[in-house]
Amino acid sequence: MSQYKHHHMVDLFVIGGGINGCGIARDAAGRGLNVELAEMHDLASATSSASTKLFHGGLRYLEYWEVRLVREALIERETLLRAMPHISWPMRFVLPYHPDMRFEGDTPTSKLLNVVMPWMKGRRPAWLIRLGLFMYDNLGGRKILKGTTSLNLRGTPEGVPLQDRFEKAYEYSDCWIEDSRLVVLNARDAEARGAKINVRTKVVSAQQQDGIWHIALEEMDGGAQRVVQARMLVNAGGPWVEDIIRNTVRINSTEGVRLVRGSHIVVPKLYDHGKCYFFQGEDGRIIFTIPYETDFTLIGTTDAEHTDVDTKPVCTPEEQSYLADFASNYFKKPVTTDDIIWTYSGVRPLYDDGATSATAATRDYVLKVNETAGAPMLNVFGGKITTYRRLAETALEKISSFFPDIKGPWTAGVPLPGGDFPVDGVADLTARLKTQFPFLTPAWASRLIKAYGTDAFVMLQGATSETDLGQNFGSNLTAQEVLWLIKNEYARKADDVVWRRSKLGLRMSAQEIEILDVWMAENTQQTTSKPQPALRKGRG
């Protein structure tokens, strides 16, 4: 590391700018630790921007008897709704029931049913579904969300797009989440509490000397090289967690991850109501169809083994056909691959528990402290977006013995940036924004509130007309908004803006995105030359 410039000492250095890394950085900074984080690409550029966009308990996980995980997730739904009502909101899910459906399942529940009720082989009986939904309603101490109801599909809006053979359904509650924005807002809040957030900065190596980590960093866009010292290292590398253990830190460990690819397709809107569908397949899997970005429907997800962490996950033609055919088994109008407007795919870094299939592998998180190198390192395996805050809290509990003066838990009930308004206050806030800035169209005002919450008023401050916001790159994405994203939300390239800070890439042309990219390249340097928050002196 002799060629690197040595910099400051921190208490905690976090590798990985996904939801787990940013969640841990925020929690740790709020407890008084001196924190720095490095992400080699953009925040949420891998798994955390490729979810099914749901805060949910995971109804199907009950079939695998993962009751603790489901209960924790169900409790978290309402905790998180209160903290981020701009980027998360309740949704109702319709689960059509058809008694004659048979499926091939490898869950503990299906195996037990095959023994005690062999005549039901391959079927989920109505009482089992109702029992699962009863548990789902009551495991998490629900206060905001509505409970399960039965639904007659005949002559109802929910039944109109479905094939006539579906007569009955169950309807229950879960929540939507803007996953990429969740990550960015956690990073922003961590920085506001004193953490340093580095994007497009790779951890080249980390070596222990006299109980202190020496972490070599390189800026991916040809910038500076430096070394940061840290008392403790947190490996929240997501799909790269095992690679970091073996090749970056170079320590021996028996722990590993199972990489499972989840793919999604986006098609033109399939129905007019605002509810989601939960569909069961004959292979034992399930998919969701979800109203998406006003004019589209999101369909996902698959579970496929992914062997190489450095191979970019893509939704394969086979997966596209699988999802389209799966949905077509339920809708009157078939979904075809020609309908697909956009696809995305992410790799879930599940803890390798030796499960027989990708579908059966645990979604629970596993946290392991390793001290074999001489300085402590926390490795984060697995996890799901719904439980990210509890994962961070548990991580801080696990490492608290290394920091005797650390403060206690604090994140429950504390809003993220822009989320300081009531859970049911989106409509009122949108109306206020429209009144204060009358040049906004209703759809434009709604988009800004659902992205930025109360920060939308700060972002538009001083504007009396649309022209005050500068260049319009398309779909009402203006220079003033892009400058906000560069200065406050770590955006550096057009993809950061149109696919992660927003989903305007669905509406903007390739030429508009290219113009935006050129503009950002010209304006990023001067915009990001802002004073960084003062790092508190490390404890080392």
pLDDT in tens, 335-370: 999 999 999 999 999 888 666 565 556 678 999 999
Q: Where, residue-wise, is CATH 3.30.9.10 in the chain?
A: 82-177+258-348
Cα angle: 142, vertex 361, 141; to 5 degrees:
10
Q: Where, residue-wise, is CATH 3.50.50.60 in the chain?
A: 5-47+180-256+363-402
| 473 pLDDT more than 70 | yes
For 220, other C-beta atoms within 10 Å of its C-beta total: 13
By the 8 A CB rule, do 14 and 25 touch?
Answer: yes
For 385, other C-beta atoms within 10 Å of its C-beta total: 26
Quick one: DSSP state of residue 245? I
By the 8 A CB rule, do 109 and 131 touch?
Answer: no
- CA 57/CA 140 separation, integer angstroms: 9
User: Terminus-to-terminus CA distance in the chain, angstroms?
Assistant: 20
Q: Would you identify the CATH topology of the domain 426-527? A: Helicase, Ruva Protein; domain 3 (1.10.8)
Cis preceding-peptide flag for 301 (omega within 30 of 0): yes
- CA 30/CA 24 separation, integer angstroms: 10
By the 8 A CB rule, do 217 and 525 touch?
Answer: no
Sign of CA dihedral 30, 33, 36, 37: negative
Q: According to the model, what pLDDT value does residue 532 have?
A: 47
pTM for the structure as a whole: 0.92
- CA 473/CA 479 separation, integer angstroms: 8
| 538 pLDDT more than 70 | no
pLDDT in tens, 186-244: 999 999 999 999 999 999 999 999 999 999 999 988 777 999 999 999 999 999 999 99
Quick one: DSSP state of residue 422? -
Pick the CATH number of 5-47+180-256+363-402 from 3.30.1950.10, 1.10.1040.10, 3.40.30.10, 3.50.50.60: 3.50.50.60
Question: Once rounded to an integer, what is the mean pLDDT over residues 34-50?
Answer: 97
Radius of gyration of the chain (CA): 24
Q: According to the model, what pLDDT value does residue 101 have?
A: 63
Q: Where, residue-wise, is CATH 1.10.8.870 in the chain?
A: 426-527
Sign of CA dihedral 382, 82, 92, 182: negative
Statement: 82-177+258-348 belongs to CATH 3.30.460.10: no
Cis preceding-peptide flag for 156 (omega within 30 of 0): no
- CA 404/CA 14 separation, integer angstroms: 19
**H-type alpha helices, 490-532:** 494-495, 510-527
Task: Name the pLDDT band for 67 (thresholds 50, 70, 90).
Answer: confident
Quick one: DSSP state of residue 162? B
